[in-house]
């Protein structure tokens, strides 16, 4: 999906949404206008209520949240809504979703003008906050006064800088100091989600922004050393960042409560730098059994330009040494130790031969 006509083409013959006032909104419209590939669509429904949606077969996402899943495509359709700040943090909002909420009111609650653009089924653009002009200017400008109420938008700004290569408008920088104190209300999981998304673009821009804005200091965290990462996918870039900065990244990944496989990768990369026996470390990872842990590590080495194929071939050579080959000389615990030692010698011979 890449243009509006393609994105909207299946609306006209979808009986589930016929009769609803539906708009494509947010990042899908933005990316289509920029010329970026669109993979996800977000929809807003105006003039309907929860009963009307469920009657058509839409499945509510939550009891108190006005978002519904299409019964066939599983895409999200949200009722137009407004929100009011009721408590600190990203979740401290009260939503109002009713038939009288307009599209413009819904767009007004969004973060940046480039994300506050909608398109109707005929492809007509609704742009009450001049988001297209800001796309042309290539800048991230807050939509309205309510922008300051959600501290997560500080991280979203840095993330969009990484993904879109757009700088923030001076208006954002003027608002930033008043938003910093509430950053501590954000959950580590939300910080991780924004960070992982930043790796789909240029993560150095993300970390540089957090460093420069004093965000990390506000969270009592050390500044991040930015490096140029290799890879095309967000996960391969993340793996390369971990490989290049294993000690620093481990501390950050733990603070962000990232999935355990990434924390473990940081530990393995740190050991790889200092290990006296590559074979022993690979064996510890389960490389002889091709475990997910060892495969992620070897893929990370390959992404860093290290010949992981040669390492895999050497591991296969070591597996040619069988326990029964040594059973006449060793027994019990001694057999296990001898097997490991002979396999390491075979690994080393293969590595040296290939060199």
Q: Per-residue pLDDT tens for 23-48? A: 999 999 999 999 998 888 999 999 99
- In this prediction, residue 352 carries a pLDDT of 83
Contact indicator for 50, 60 with CB cutoff of 8 Å: yes
Nearest to 69 by CA among 17, 120, 128, 110: 17
- In this prediction, residue 93 carries a pLDDT of 61
- In this prediction, residue 1 carries a pLDDT of 43
Residue 93 to residues 60, 84, 181, 280: CA-CA distances in angstroms? 19, 5, 18, 52
d(CA 309, CA 298): 9
- In this prediction, residue 354 carries a pLDDT of 58
133 or 83, greater pLDDT: 133
The vertex-133 CA angle with 146 and 145, nearest 5°, equals 10
Instruction: Map out the domains of the chain with their CATH numbers.
Output: 1-137 (3.30.460.10)
| pLDDT > 70 fraction of the chain, expressed in percent and rounded | 96
- The tokens of 217 are what? 């200091």
Task: Give the pLDDT band (50/70/90) at residue 275.
Answer: confident
Neighbours of 244 (CB within 10 A): 16
pLDDT for 63 beyond 80: no
d(CA 180, CA 212): 13
Which residues, 6 or more positions from 58, have their beta carbon under 8 angstroms from its beta carbon? 16, 68, 69, 70, 71, 77
Pairing of strands 76-79, 42-46: parallel
d(CA 212, CA 99): 43
The model's pLDDT over 132-167, given as tens digits with 9 standing for 90+, comes to 999 999 999 999 888 888 999 999 999 999 999 999
Contact indicator for 257, 228 with CB cutoff of 8 Å: no
Half-sphere exposure for 62 (CA within 13 Å, toward CB):
5
- The tokens of 280 are what? 């022993």
Average pLDDT over residues 224-239: 93
Contact indicator for 105, 141 with CB cutoff of 8 Å: no
Lowest mean pLDDT among 118-122, 219-223, 227-231: 219-223
d(CA 353, CA 355): 5
Pairing of strands 93-96, 82-85: antiparallel
CA dihedral 101, 102, 105, 106 (to 10 degrees): 80
d(CA 248, CA 224): 8
Nearest to 199 by CA among 238, 165, 142: 238
CA dihedral 328, 333, 338, 341 (to 10 degrees): 170
pTM, rounded to two decimals: 0.86
- The tokens of 321 are what? 């040494």
Contact indicator for 255, 222 with CB cutoff of 8 Å: no
Pairing of strands 118-119, 21-25: antiparallel
Average pLDDT over residues 193-209: 95
Which residues, 6 or more positions from 306, have their beta carbon under 8 angstroms from its beta carbon? none
Which residues, 6 or more positions from 252, have their beta carbon under 8 angstroms from its beta carbon? 221, 224
Nearest to 161 by CA among 128, 129, 188, 194: 194
Q: What is the DSSP letter of 276?
A: S
């Amino acid at each position: 999906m890449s243009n509006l006509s393609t994105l909207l083409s299946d609306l006209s013959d979808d009986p589930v949404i016929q009769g609803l006032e539906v708009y494509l909104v947010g990042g899908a419209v933005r990316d289509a206008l920029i010329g970026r590939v669109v993979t996800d669509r977000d929809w807003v429904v105006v003039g309907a209520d929860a009963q009307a949606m469920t009657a058509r077969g839409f499945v509510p996402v939550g009891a108190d949240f006005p978002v519904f899943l299409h019964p066939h495509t599983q895409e999200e359709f949200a009722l137009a809504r407004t929100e009011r700040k009721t408590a600190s943090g990203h979740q401290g909002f009260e939503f109002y979703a009713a038939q009288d909420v307009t599209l413009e009111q819904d767009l007004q609650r969004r973060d940046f003008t480039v994300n506050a653009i909608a398109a109707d089924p005929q492809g007509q653009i609704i742009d009450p906050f001049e988001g297209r002009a800001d796309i042309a200017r290539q800048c991230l400008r807050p939509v309205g006064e309510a922008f300051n109420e959600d501290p997560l938008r500080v991280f979203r700004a840095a993330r969009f800088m990484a993904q879109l290569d757009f700088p923030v408008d001076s208006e954002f920088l003027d608002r930033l100091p008043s938003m910093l104190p509430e950053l501590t209300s954000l959950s580590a999981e939300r910080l991780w989600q924004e960070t992982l998304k930043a790796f789909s673009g240029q993560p150095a821009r993300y970390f540089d922004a957090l460093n420069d804005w004093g965000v990390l200091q506000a969270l009592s965290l050390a500044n991040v050393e930015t490096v140029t990462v290799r890879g095309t996918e967000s996960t391969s870039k993340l793996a390369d960042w971990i490989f290049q900065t294993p000690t620093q990244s481990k501390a950050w990944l733990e603070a962000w409560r990232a999935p355990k496989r990434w924390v473990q990768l940081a530990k393995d990369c740190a050991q790889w730098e200092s290990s006296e026996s590559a074979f022993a470390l690979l064996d510890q990872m389960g490389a002889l059994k091709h475990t997910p842990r060892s495969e992620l590590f070897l893929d990370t080495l390959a992404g860093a330009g290290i010949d992981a194929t040669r390492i895999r071939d050497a591991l296969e050579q070591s597996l040619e040494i069988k326990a029964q080959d040594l059973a006449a000389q060793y027994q019990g615990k001694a057999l296990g130790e001898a097997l490991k030692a002979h396999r390491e010698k075979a690994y080393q011979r293969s590595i040296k031969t290939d060199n």
